[in-house]
Amino acid sequence: MKNPSVYSIIGVVAVCLAAAESAGAGTLKCPPDSVKVGNVCIDTYEASVWQIPPSNTALVKLVQAGKATLANLTAGGATQLSTSWGSSCLGSTPYPANFPIDGNWTPVPGSSPPSPGVYAVSIPGVLPTACTTWFQANQACALSGKRLLRNGEWQRAAAGTPDAGASPGANDCNTNSANPSNTGSRTNCKSAWGVFDMVGNVDEWVEDWGDLADHCTIWSPAFGSDLSCVGGPGSSYSNLPGAWLRGNAWGGNIYAGVFAVDGRFDPSFSGGATGFRCAR
């Protein structure tokens, strides 16, 4: 016989958890570098990655608090990493030797707490960092007190972003040009939540993995004709997982959009258009 008291307790716990989550969503205060999307703080801008001496603890704390500005970074001697794009970064990494493509970083000698000196920042007016593997993106977010977005969170944050397709204007999402734009400079490329550049510019890693995709399909025109590359197993590299990229990049043409998802690349891939965005 089932014990009704046990089920009553479970029901009470479930209600309390739901209430706590709802209360958290209502009281959540996001740092200046991010936008509140439901119960998550999503970075307003695509990540730019900076090398900062861990000895500059004041600047590191500003970054981790979401309060660092471009002026702070420049004055603090920080160096932006991986602002080049194209095929030149394939098979290599623009990051320091202690921050390799597999994300297994080693600390800068004397750093306390231990750090490789590499941090992800959400600021306007700079090129988004590219040539980044999933592993590096995952660690760069963590070092800044953040994490990669989950796929569902990315989808929510992108809602309402206008998709200009193959003929974007100067202020529309960067979906058909020769190179990426500075973060936030495409003023029309803004989601209903207030998040910039989720369509085009650079592909954005999300946390989710799946089978390495071996084919692509296209969403119907009603959904923007966005590229969808999911499902496997992959062909040449069927023994590897596929990490998901969202939104497509500056050359995405009609295939970029809020429904674009690409799982054809393993987490160690570092293409010239692979960027990311963090969340808290």
CB 247 within 8 A of CB 260: yes
Over residues 156-182, mean pLDDT:
92
Confidence class for position 129, pLDDT limits 50, 70, 90: very high
Coil, helix or strand at residue 62: helix
Coil, helix or strand at residue 276: strand
Tally: H helices and E strands in the chain: 5, 13
Q: Which residues contact 142 (CB under 8 A, 6 or more apart)?
A: none
For the chain, the residue count is 280
- 6 versus 123: which is more confidently predicted? 123
Condensed to tens digits (0 to 9), the pLDDT of residues 234-247 reads 555 556 889 999 99
Condensed to tens digits (0 to 9), the pLDDT of residues 71-109 reads 999 999 999 997 655 555 654 568 999 999 999 999 999
Of the listed ranges 23-32, 36-45, 52-61, 259-268, the one predicted with least confidence: 23-32
Report the Cα 233 to chain-centroid distance in Å.
25
pLDDT at residue 18 above 50? Answer: no
Q: Give the other-Cβ count within 10 Å of 195's Cβ.
A: 26
| DSSP state string for 86-132 | SGGGTTS-SS-TTS-TT----PPTT-SS---SEEEE--SSSPPP-S-
**Arithmetic mean of pLDDT over the chain:** 87
Give strand pairing partners of 203: 274
What's the rounded Cα separation, in Å, for the pair 179 and 165?
A: 16
149 backbone dihedrals φ, ψ, rounded to 5°: -70, 145
In the 8-state DSSP scheme, what is residue 222? G
What pLDDT does 224 receive?
Answer: 87
Q: Which residues contact 92 (CB under 8 A, 6 or more apart)?
A: 131, 270
Whole-structure pTM value = 0.87
What pLDDT does 167 receive?
Answer: 87
Distances (CA, A) of 30 to 26, 73, 170, 257: 11, 21, 30, 26
Coil, helix or strand at residue 38: coil
Give strand pairing partners of 50: 80, 119
